[in-house]
A and B are shown apart, each in its own frame.
Chain A
Amino acid sequence: EAGVVQSPRYKIIEKKQPVAFWCNPISGHNTLYWYLQNLGQGPELLIRYENEEAVDDSQLPKDRFSAERLKGVDSTLKIQPAELGDSAVYLCASSSGSGGNNEQFFGPGTRLTVL
């Protein structure tokens, strides 16, 4: 099994440009997470989905960030416009959520560099 799939793996853009990240969770996992990880820090939750519903987006900067999970499977995270401070690794994770099991399985991440 491939596990959580993310693309692209690396992205370099100029500031003020838009960028989008894609995530395909493990089959059958209802819960999907997007995290931001800055250098030298732990992952910080941006948004959590239960199926297609965003149940926690309190940490998502909604002025420039948006996310969607149509049909409750794949998800896309978008930044428009990107700023220099958005340079970081964006991680996607999924969990089954069944029986209260919240073990998260992480993707490889997308490393974003904003010039």
Chain B
Amino acid sequence: AQRVTQPEKLLSVFKGAPVELKCNYSYSGSPELFWYVQYSRQRLQLLLRHISRESIKGFTADLNKGETSFHLKKPFAQEEDSAMYYCALSKTSYDKVIFGPGTSLSVIP
């Protein structure tokens, strides 16, 4: 069965410092991977997906099939990045999405 793990429940970094939110998955095939974000008092929303290979709000994520990881990175954290981040996996574009438990990021001014 597919599974997504996010080892850190809480992550605190100082403004301007690099940030990395870890995500590992278990799936033998080639999944689609996503990062969803929920800012305070807002809805859960898509941040980025690996197939688009975009940088959104300065965030990037690289799929490492060898390590089955999809870590989210940003070189310089901003206060507005404070939010709950969920890594998610789908077997194909037509399959259900499985979410990880989430990491709460707090950027300290």
Give the interface segment out of B42-50, B55-63, B72-80: B42-50
Q: Are A3 and B43 in contact (CB under 8 A)?
A: yes
Per the CB 8 Å criterion, the residue count for chain A at the interface is 24
B96 touches A42 (CB 8 A): no
Q: Is the CB of B44 within 8 A of A103?
A: no
Q: Which residues of the partner chain B approach A43 to less than 8 Å between Cβ atoms?
A: 44, 86, 99
Q: A104-B46, A106-B44 are in contact. Are A42 and B94 (CB under 8 A)?
A: no
Q: With A and B bound together, what is the CA distance between A3 and B44 in angstroms? A: 12
Interface residues of B in 71-101 (CB under 8 A from A): 86, 88, 90, 92-101
In B6-20, the 8 Å CB interface with A consists of 9
Given known A3-B43, A43-B44, A91-B44, contact A104–B97 (CB-CB < 8 A): yes
The answer to whether B46 and A103 touch across the interface, beta carbons within 8 angstroms, is: yes
Interchain CB contact under 8 A, B97 and A40: no
Q: Is the CB of B101 within 8 A of A42?
A: yes
B77 to chain A, nearest CB (A): 22
CB distance from B13 to the nearest CB of A (A): 21
Contact, CB under 8 Å: A40 / B101: yes
Known: A3-B43, A48-B96. A42 touches B102 (CB 8 A): yes
Q: Residues of A with Cβ closer than 8 Å to B?
A: 3-4, 33, 40-45, 48, 56, 91, 93, 97, 100-109
> Closest 4 interchain pairs by CB?
A100-B93, A42-B99, A106-B44, A106-B43
A-B contact pairs, 24 of them (CB 8 A): A3-B43, A40-B101, A41-B101, A42-B86, A42-B99, A42-B102, A43-B44, A43-B86, A43-B99, A45-B96, A45-B97, A48-B96, A97-B94, A100-B92, A100-B94, A101-B93, A102-B32, A102-B95, A103-B46, A104-B97, A105-B45, A106-B43, A106-B45, A108-B43
Identify 6 new A-B residue pairs, CB closer than 8 A, beyond the known A42-B86, A102-B97: A3-B43, A41-B102, A97-B94, A101-B93, A102-B95, A103-B46
